[in-house]
Amino acid sequence: MNKDDLTQVKNIGNARKKILASHGITTVQQLYKMPLEKLMQIKSLGRHYAKLIKVAVNEYYETKAAASAESDAVVSTDKKEKSVKIDRKIGAELAKTPKYLKRAKRKFEPINKKKHLKLFVEFKTKSNGLKMQILTLRQSKLDLSKKQKKKILRKAEALNVMVKHVGKKKKAKTMNKLNNEIKSLLNLLGK
């Protein structure tokens, strides 16, 4: 049975389906669009069955439209819930970032050593810029696509893991990596 089979409509069996087909009506949509008066003119159907079929076709379409609208509403709700969930994850991850950056800044501070001072200043500048960007972002709503939000979430998670596990050793390589991660996240956030 195909999707647009006339026998899906109440009061239409195989015999009436053949009668309708002989008059050029092969789909439910054609039957729905056909005026009642024209349907009544088919002598083999008669007035009584023409009215019953027309009512049944209208009910069929109303049920189909209601089911379609309901499934669209469910899909729309699911998308909204997923979007809100991603927004919450981003918010939670970005809320941790300033705390971790502050901790890393203390660990990197070059006390009496000028060896990594340039990298430290770059790290401090970029981390302050990121903190400001996060603050403004948290005050406004994220008006980004789902793909962009997922990228931001991945970058924020990666940065937080990296910053959280910064050791006490002040290595230039670690600071360079962090500076690049911060720069990448800043670019995604739109600075």
- 0.75 exceeded by pTM: no
pLDDT tens per residue across span 139-160:
666 667 778 888 888 888 888 8
Residue with tokens 């990296």: 162
pLDDT above 70 (res 177) = yes
Q: What is the pLDDT, as a whole number, of residue 73?
A: 61
Ranges of each domain in the chain = 6-73, 78-189
pLDDT tens per residue across span 24-51:
888 888 888 888 888 888 888 888 888 8
C-alpha to C-alpha distances, 162 to 60, 76, 128, 144, 166, nearest whole angstrom: 59, 36, 17, 25, 7
Which residue would you say has higher pLDDT here, 136 or 182? 182
Q: What is the pLDDT, as a whole number, of residue 16?
A: 85
* For the chain, percent of residues with pLDDT exceeding 90: 0
Output phi, psi for 148, to 5 deg.
Answer: -65, -40
| Secondary structure of residue 43 in the 3-state scheme | coil
Between 8-17, 60-69, 134-143, 154-163, the lowest mean confidence (pLDDT) is in 134-143
Q: What is the pLDDT, as a whole number, of residue 163?
A: 82
Q: What is the pLDDT, as a whole number, of residue 123?
A: 83
Q: In CATH terms, is domain 6-73 a member of 1.10.150?
A: yes
The one-letter amino acid at 167: G
Mean pLDDT of the chain: 79
| Secondary structure of residue 49 in the 3-state scheme | helix
pLDDT above 50 (res 173) = yes
At residue 1 the predicted structure's pLDDT band, cuts being 50, 70 and 90, is very low
Q: What is the pLDDT, as a whole number, of residue 140?
A: 64
